[in-house]
């Protein structure tokens, strides 16, 4: 099993004809992902071609979902239009929306979150690398790659990875793969202050997934998502968890990289998050270089 997506998941790409969207649609097709539709308003009826793949393009998400059976959308729409793209996918009743777009105005995402209340759609992101469930084929092909993560670093296995940072996700995955430990699913939840799926949501899904035996959770300064996840894990998660918190040297009041990575009013500090993780019995890596090593030591002894 896995969480969120698997090799049978049918994906549509919003913004498939743009430079970024087309590039990563091709990489996902090469990985074995079932990319079954593209959506670009005004280009309905055209075809997105890559090698032997021919993906139909539609004007709307609703039409694409109805005609192809797609249940998941990945969004490569520019920031001014990305919020509307998310809401279009929600209105179409998709199960999952993965928004890669960076730089969406916070006010737009506040409106999106309010509009999504009560919907059946789960949002990953925005400003995230996406989701990968590795396959069992050569180089883990045949799985499901949604977003911008490098598929070739993954290996099918039993470690769940959830992270606010894209590059640290890749680092953790590659460390695990090099040591012979594969991943069940890797989820990049994004670093914006207003997003969809949280660390806590991912931990709960990994805890319920029988294939996932251990978890790496990567956080950073800003907000209290890591503390809330740690508090839940302390009482409910029996699986070994290793964590890393980025931004320990960031000056208070200065945003570092991600829009949500800011220490304000004494809250959201790296020290506070690390203390909460330790209190929950979660192993904390001192540097990003030892994330996998820290997990393996806790997991395998």
DSSP string, 184-246: EEEEE--S-SS-SS-HHHHHHHHHH-TT--EEEEEEESSSSHHHHHHHHHHHH--S-EEEEEE
SS3 75: strand
Single out the residue of 288, 189, 181, 191 nearest to residue 240, CA to CA. Answer: 181
Is residue 258 part of the annotated active site? The answer reads: yes
Torsion of CA 150, 156, 160, 164, to 10 degrees: 0
Tell me what pLDDT residue 97 has. Answer: 98
Q: Report all structural domains of the chain as residue ranges with CATH numbers, in order of start.
A: 10-124 (3.40.50.720), 155-300 (3.40.50.261)
Kindly report the pTM of this predicted structure.
0.94
Among residues 141, 154, 199, 258, the one annotated as catalytic is: 258
For each successive 10 residues of the chain (301 residues), what is the average pLDDT?
94 98 98 98 98 98 98 98 98 98 96 96 97 88 94 96 96 98 97 93 98 96 90 97 86 57 60 94 97 97 78
Tell me what pLDDT residue 91 has. Answer: 98
């Amino acid at each position: 099993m896995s969480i969120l997506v698997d090799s049978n998941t049918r994906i549509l790409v919003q913004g498939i004809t743009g430079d970024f969207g087309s590039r990563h649609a091709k990489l996902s097709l090469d990985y074995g992902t079932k990319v079954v539709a593209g959506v670009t308003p005004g280009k309905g009826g055209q075809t997105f071609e890559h090698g032997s793949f021919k993906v139909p393009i539609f004007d709307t998400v609703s039409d694409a979902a109805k005609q192809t059976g797609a249940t998941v959308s990945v969004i490569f729409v520019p920031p001014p239009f990305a919020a509307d793209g998310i809401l279009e996918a929600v209105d179409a009743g998709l199960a999952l929306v993965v928004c890669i777009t960076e730089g969406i105005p916070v006010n737009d995402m506040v409106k999106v979150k309010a509009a999504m209340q009560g919907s059946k759609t789960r949002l990953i992101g925005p400003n995230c690398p996406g989701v990968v469930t590795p396959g069992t084929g050569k180089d883990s092909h045949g799985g499901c790659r949604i977003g911008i993560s490098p598929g070739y670093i993954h290996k099918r296995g039993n470690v769940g990875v959830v992270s606010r940072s894209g590059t640290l996700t890749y680092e953790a995955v590659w460390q695990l793969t090099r040591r012979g430990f594969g991943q069940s699913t890797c989820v990049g939840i994004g670093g914006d202050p207003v997003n969809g799926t949280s660390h806590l949501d991912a931990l709960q899904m990994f805890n319920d997934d029988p294939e996932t035996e251990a978890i790496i959770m990567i956080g950073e300064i800003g907000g209290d998502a890591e503390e809330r996840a740690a508090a839940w894990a302390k009482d409910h998660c029996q699986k070994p968890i290793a964590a890393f918190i980025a931004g320990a040297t960031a000056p208070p009041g200065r945003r570092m990289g991600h829009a949500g990575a800011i220490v304000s009013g004494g809250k959201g500090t790296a020290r506070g998050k690390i203390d909460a993780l330790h209190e929950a019995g979660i192993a904390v890596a001192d540097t990003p270089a030892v994330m996998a090593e820290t997990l393996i030591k806790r997991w395998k002894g």
